Structure 1
Amino acid sequence: MAIRSLLTRLQPLSFRKIRYGGNAKGFNFLRRISSNNLSASAYHDLPPSKQNNDIDLKSKLLFLRYPRRSATSVLQNWISEGRKVSIYDLRDISNQLVRRGRYKHALEVLKWMEDQERFQFSESDHALRLELTIKVSTLEEAEDYFAKLPNTASQKASYLHLLNSYVREEATEKAESLMIKMTSLGANVTPHPFNAMMKLYIATSQFDLVLSVIYQMKQNKIPRNVLSYNLWMSATHEVYGVQNVDIVYKEMLNDKDVIIGWSTLCTLANIYMKSGLFEKATLTLENAEKKLSFKNHFGYFFLITNYVSLKNKEGVIRVWKACKRVDAKLTCANYMCMLLSLVKLDDVEEAEKIFMEWESQCWKYDIRVSNILLGAYVRGGLMEKAEGLHVRTLERGGCPNYKTWEILMEGYLKNGNMEKVVDAMKNGFKMLKDCDWRPSGTIVESIFEYFEKSGKLEDAKEFLNVIRGFNLASLCVYRSLIRMHVAKKKACSDILEMMEDDKIDMDDETMTIALASQNDALSEML
């Protein structure tokens, strides 16, 4: 209302307007435990040599590269041409699509398959369809599908997917209700659903209920696996402290059905760290190193992360060297983990060596790797090195992402190089439509402060045009623009209208400045 009133007062001065462009209620389920439109052109992505009638159905479906294309249409066209398909072929195709991460097409194949009366859907088919529904669609749709499953066997085969979804959503009541139902059907005879519930209770800080799960598992002779013990130790530490954790660990040592590996020792080391027992944590991690596999890198980076928490650079380097002896190719994600670890340990020099090693053998330049070193340079005030690295990445074919420009913006802002901040921001703007990232309000306001001090009103207007499209205009930004109009003795009615459009309320300070703009503009006219 304040803006509209002010606009009315400014109306006689209007010039040609410039438009810029729930907690758990109890562990009830434990009490019931007894002694888881496209036509034939849909496959035009095929190589030209294979676009003929002899190509098999599997190839047609596997070559549907884009999610918007329809696997259902391909299947319907196949049948309409008088061809046959077996349920075994469809299962094989759907499984291959899943392995390739093509969940939408795999789900379409299963839906089509289930709709055909001549095919008998199995329990595992129902389970896969439910899993894919959770991945592709909504949890509500998955719940509806589960409720309509035709028999108990299908529910038993499928329910773990639904339970795990509830755990991810921290939907405690729904998870407990499902456990009650499946317990009554005799489905809860493995550690997996109980582990899921323990994860949920840890995530929601209900550690005492984790211990209740373990008690019921013992009472009903449900076997415990490595994950069960790891979760049990974590909850025990929260409830009773580190002394009782050692009791759980000894029980695990005596369990002949469980083999203690690096994951348990990492869990134990984390608990020791939280309790301030750093020497004991270090010894435990050294024992964990002996349990690592020589076939994959999976456990190595858990240990590296733990050694970083202990600020143990020697351990980080030792595990990294062991990791490189594994018979598997190191990924960009592996290098990123190592670079982040060294940066956290303030060893930029060693990080540079690792980066050069990665760069010498990478076949495709992943800008996320160089961004880690770029950020280290900027935070360390090494702006010359940061700019040199940026140029180097461009020369090597790297494609800057929003994070690259954000890092550079922060560096330029620290150095007071506002022209470069503006340029970096403009480059970052080009990527805003493709991601959720937005520049910080501090940087945006600093840019307008720079425009104001430099008297660059037109540049400020142009910049405002852009940031309004991303809902980045704030009261501080508009106030700066109004002050610029006052300095130029120009009316600001257009700015006030934009404020109203953006639903930004005017405070007393801004109102005073706007009135000053009106008086100055009136003086110019008289």
Structure 2
Amino acid sequence: MTGRWPIARLIRWRQMSSLSSSSSPVDKLKSEILRLKNPGRSATAVIQDWVDQGHKVSVPELRRISIQLLKSKRFNHALQILTWMETQSNLRLSPVDHGIRLESIIKVNGMLEAEQYFEHLSDTASRKAACLPLLHGYVVERNIEKAEALMQKLGGLGLIVSPHLYNEMMKLYMATVQFGKVPLVIQQMRNNKIPLTVLSYNLCMNAYAKLSAIASVEIVYKEMVNDENVQVGWSTLSTLANIYMKAGLVDKAKFALSNAEEKLSNCNRLGYFFLITQYTSLKCKEDVLRLWRASKGVAGRIPSTNYMHMLLCLVKLGDLVEAERIFREWESNCFRYDVRVSNVLLGAYMRNGMVDKS
């Protein structure tokens, strides 16, 4: 029996045929490496076999594979590739590759080996690329002494040329409750003519908030507004609102949230739900519902996690009637039942003695 394929299936078959015919040898190598199990066969063995079969590989191609492995938390395989690259006389690693390798070493073998690798880097460009992951490793370990020593060493070598290292130090001081050191880092950045980023300003604002210096928070915010190199977005205004809320300055918090709404994107719902949470803390139910309606203007289907977020906020506000309405809306639209959404209402019913509804 003969017949015609449905148009959709025919188009899909042609697309798949086109992809398979256009796939390069490097794509096949990448697929083979990504299929490796950990532990199991090493990525080094796969690449060596590939080369022994007469195929060529390049540093940019192997770098892309390594970065993909890092993003997938396949640190062992990423390190194996980078180590193999460094042993090949015909491949020359770039400073970026050394930075990626040091990051992999930290994940697999720890800080001591990473420090030794950093010390053996001979050229300035490679050290400059590798110092950020090394410092970040100290930040993760909350090792203030080594982080400060590294910064001093890098400063002496003239290697601190971007704000990222300073931002890492401020994160470390915030994490170790040394809030007073954060403004000193900002001053160092200004003295060294290093531009402040949005993160730099936000960290400084939070540090002053921890020190209960609201006037200083507002000064930093005004400096940020006047800085032509940064753009104040909803995240910064949300941070400012949160600071005001914790200080009991409700009117100022509401004003900051109102300004934050004007910065929200019509392509992403993330900001809407940050602000919804803050309006919930302020017990502003009408603003919560208004932002929920506004979030529906963002293109794309509303995920179950957003419905769950709204239910949690409405339960916190004590409006179970509205929560039930939104739950029914979710039920009528969901493709896959997520029990976490219904559990929000069930928990509220049990806490309020509404056993018949549960």
TM bucket, shorter chain: 0.7 to 0.9
Amino acid across the alignment from 1:352: E
Which residue number in structure 1 is paired with residue 290 of structure 2? Answer: 318
C-alpha deviation, 1:161, in angstroms: 1.8
Match of 2:39 among 51, 56, 68: 68
> Relative to structure 1, is the Cα distance of residues 98 and 202 closer, same or farther in structure 2, using a 3 angstrom cutoff?
closer
> Relative to structure 1, is the Cα distance of residues 102 and 375 closer, same or farther in structure 2, using a 3 angstrom cutoff?
farther
C-alpha deviation, 1:316, in angstroms: 2.0
> Relative to structure 1, is the Cα distance of residues 358 and 116 closer, same or farther in structure 2, using a 3 angstrom cutoff?
farther
2:177 matched to 1:205?
A: yes
Q: Deviations over 1:404-463 (max 9, x none)?
A: xxxxxxxxxxxxxxxxxxxxxxxxxxxxxxxxxxxxxxxxxxxxxxxxxxxxxxxxxxxx
Give 3-state SS (helix, strand or coil) of 2:216's partner: helix
**Sequence identity, in percent?**
55
Match of 2:151 among 179, 186, 202: 179
C-alpha deviation, 1:329, in angstroms: 4.5
> Relative to structure 1, is the Cα distance of residues 95 and 167 closer, same or farther in structure 2, using a 3 angstrom cutoff?
closer
C-alpha deviation, 1:99, in angstroms: 4.9
C-alpha deviation, 1:240, in angstroms: 5.5
C-alpha deviation, 1:157, in angstroms: 0.6
Amino acid across the alignment from 2:142: E
Larger displacement relative to structure 2 (358-367 or 163-172): 358-367
Amino acid across the alignment from 1:318: R
Q: Deviations over 1:247-303 (max 9, x none)?
A: 222222222222211122112111211221101111110110000111222322221
2:136 matched to 1:193?
A: no
What does residue range 467-478 of structure 1 map to in structure 2 within 5 Å? Answer: none
Which residue number in structure 1 is paired with residue 53 of structure 2? Answer: 81
CA distance in 2, matches of 1:155, 1:369: 49
Match of 1:264 among 210, 233, 236: 236
C-alpha deviation, 1:181, in angstroms: 1.7
CA RMSD of aligned residues (A): 2.6
Amino acid across the alignment from 1:267: T
CA distance in 2, matches of 1:346, 1:133: 51
Q: For the pair shown, which has the larger CA radius of gyration, 1 or 2?
A: 1
Amino acid across the alignment from 1:210: V
| Aligned residue pairs, count | 333
> Relative to structure 1, is the Cα distance of residues 167 and 354 closer, same or farther in structure 2, using a 3 angstrom cutoff?
farther
Amino acid across the alignment from 1:202: M
C-alpha deviation, 1:125, in angstroms: 0.8
CA distance in 1, matches of 2:312, 2:140: 27
Which residue number in structure 2 is paired with residue 155 of structure 1? Answer: 127
Which residue number in structure 1 is paired with residue 270 of structure 2? Answer: 298
Which residue number in structure 2 is paired with residue 40 of structure 1? Answer: none
Which residue number in structure 1 is paired with residue 86 of structure 2? Answer: 114
Amino acid across the alignment from 1:177: A
> Relative to structure 1, is the Cα distance of residues 240 and 275 closer, same or farther in structure 2, using a 3 angstrom cutoff?
closer
Are the aligned partners of 1:297 and 1:328 in contact in 2 as well (CA < 8 Å)? no
Give 3-state SS (helix, strand or coil) of 1:299's partner: helix
Match of 1:377 among 331, 344, 349: 349
CA distance in 2, matches of 1:94, 1:374: 45
C-alpha deviation, 1:101, in angstroms: 5.2
2:151 matched to 1:169?
A: no
> Relative to structure 1, is the Cα distance of residues 87 and 190 closer, same or farther in structure 2, using a 3 angstrom cutoff?
closer
Give the alignment's TM-score, normalised by structure 2. Answer: 0.82
Give 3-state SS (helix, strand or coil) of 2:180's partner: helix
C-alpha deviation, 1:72, in angstroms: 2.6
Are the aligned partners of 1:296 and 1:328 in contact in 2 as well (CA < 8 Å)? no
Are the aligned partners of 1:307 and 1:313 in contact in 2 as well (CA < 8 Å)? yes
CA distance in 1, matches of 2:241, 2:186: 22
CA distance in 2, matches of 1:366, 1:108: 40
Amino acid across the alignment from 1:175: A
C-alpha deviation, 1:158, in angstroms: 1.8
Q: Which runs of 5+ in 1 are unaligned?
A: 1-49, 387-526
Are the aligned partners of 1:230 and 1:267 in contact in 2 as well (CA < 8 Å)? yes
CA distance in 1, matches of 2:151, 2:357: 57
Q: Deviations over 1:451-501 (max 9, x none)?
A: xxxxxxxxxxxxxxxxxxxxxxxxxxxxxxxxxxxxxxxxxxxxxxxxxxx
2:252 matched to 1:280?
A: yes
Q: Deviations over 1:47-76 (max 9, x none)?
A: xxx9xxx88312322333x43343233223
Q: Which runs of 5+ in 2 are unaligned?
A: 1-19
Match of 1:222 among 182, 188, 194: 194
Give 3-state SS (helix, strand or coil) of 1:120's partner: coil
Amino acid across the alignment from 1:280: K
Which residue number in structure 2 is paired with residue 94 of structure 1? Answer: 66
C-alpha deviation, 1:384, in angstroms: 4.5
Give 3-state SS (helix, strand or coil) of 1:58's partner: helix
2:99 matched to 1:124?
A: no
2:117 matched to 1:145?
A: yes
CA distance in 1, matches of 2:108, 2:322: 43
> Relative to structure 1, is the Cα distance of residues 241 and 109 closer, same or farther in structure 2, using a 3 angstrom cutoff?
same
What does residue range 2-81 of structure 1 map to in structure 2 within 5 Å? Answer: 56-64=28-36, 66-70=37-41, 71-81=43-53
Give the alignment's TM-score, normalised by structure 1. Answer: 0.58
C-alpha deviation, 1:136, in angstroms: 4.8
Larger displacement relative to structure 2 (289-298 or 339-348): 339-348
- Which is bigger in relative contact order (C-alpha 8 A, separation at least 6)? 1
